[in-house]
Amino acid sequence: MAEPALVPFDQRQGSIWYNGRIVDWRDARLHVMSHGLHYASCVFEGIRSYNGKVYKMGEHYQRFHESARLLDFTIPHSVAELEAATIELLAKNSLSDAYIRPVAWRGSEQMAIAADKTTIHVAIIVWDFGPYFGSRLQGIRLQLSRWRRPSAESAPCKSKAAGLYTICTLAKHEAQRAGFDDALMLDYRGLVAESTGSNIFLVIDGALHTPCPDCFLDGITRRKLIELAKQDGMQVFERAISLDDCDKAQEVFLTGTAAEVTLVRQIDDKSYTEKTITMRLAKLYDQEVRPQ
């Protein structure tokens, strides 16, 4: 059955925070001669609010600032200003369970590799958002990607930089075309890295194992999950993870702001049927983001 046509994002209704002002959704435009568009001088964040409370807003906006610094530019609004803008915007759009997308990019004063005289633009967009993977607790299927995460010498891999998502989109498209939900990406060494938009954990003999985040984002959800698992008495190993480890694992799951805790039920043709520990951690994470 054909999916219902979605309203394109630029034709939706609501309000957007744009360079310090709240504007009508459809007026939040930029010129085609924007450096961010041509040269990917652009960073962004992905944040969620639950029951009207923004989860880890300060940490996300600090990472936003750090992402820009790694791309050699400075966001011209403090973390506190961005936090206040987000609260105002959620109220203005009457949203309590939302996805929040801050984005910052270089403007149009220069159209060349060098761009240090460009103005930095910042927008915050909020929209209604449910689970990223509809079947997050039933389990998703990952395809091993041919695309690999670059080394820290080859890319600013600690930045949530738009350009780094080029290979994620390619990997995700290939996986989806082959009937999978997402891709599992190795790093430049051939070690397990992450999926296209979330971190990965393995459960091996009751302990958690997750790759060291030395060439990809050390996700805010990843760090929280490690903390929750340790508090729950589990052993957690951050270490080099190989595909052999994935074969040995009894359970696999992903973590991320959008993905939350998402069970993985298959990687290529290897199936995982266990899910007890993943369900337990997913519950702890749900209680963390939606405290009663």
Q: Which residues bind ligand PMP (CB under 6 A)?
A: 46, 194, 197-199, 216-217, 219-222, 255-257
Cβ proximity to ligand PMP, 100 vs 217, nearer residue: 217
Q: How far is the CB of 157 from ligand PMP (least distance, A)?
A: 9
- Report d(CA 123, CA 85) in Å as an integer: 10
Q: How far is the CB of 250 from ligand PMP (least distance, A)?
A: 23
Cβ proximity to ligand PMP, 145 vs 257, nearer residue: 257
Catalytic residue, candidates 53, 56, 117, 160: 160
CA trace torsion 106, 107, 109, 111 (10° rounding): 70
Cβ proximity to ligand PMP, 115 vs 191, nearer residue: 191
Q: How far is the CB of 185 from ligand PMP (least distance, A)?
A: 9
- Report d(CA 60, CA 102) in Å as an integer: 9
For 156, counting Cβ atoms within 10 Å of its Cβ (0-12 exposed, 13-18 middle, 19+ buried), the class is middle
| Six-digit token string for 145 | 């990607």
Cβ-proximal residue to ligand PMP, closest one: 219
Q: How far is the CB of 226 from ligand PMP (least distance, A)?
A: 11
Non-local CB neighbours of 5 within 8 Å, separated by 6+ positions: none
Cβ proximity to ligand PMP, 75 vs 225, nearer residue: 225
Task: Look up 160 and say whether it is catalytic.
Answer: yes
Q: Residue 114 to residues 44, 105, 150: CA-CA distances in angstroms?
A: 21, 14, 23
Q: Which residues are catalytic?
A: 160
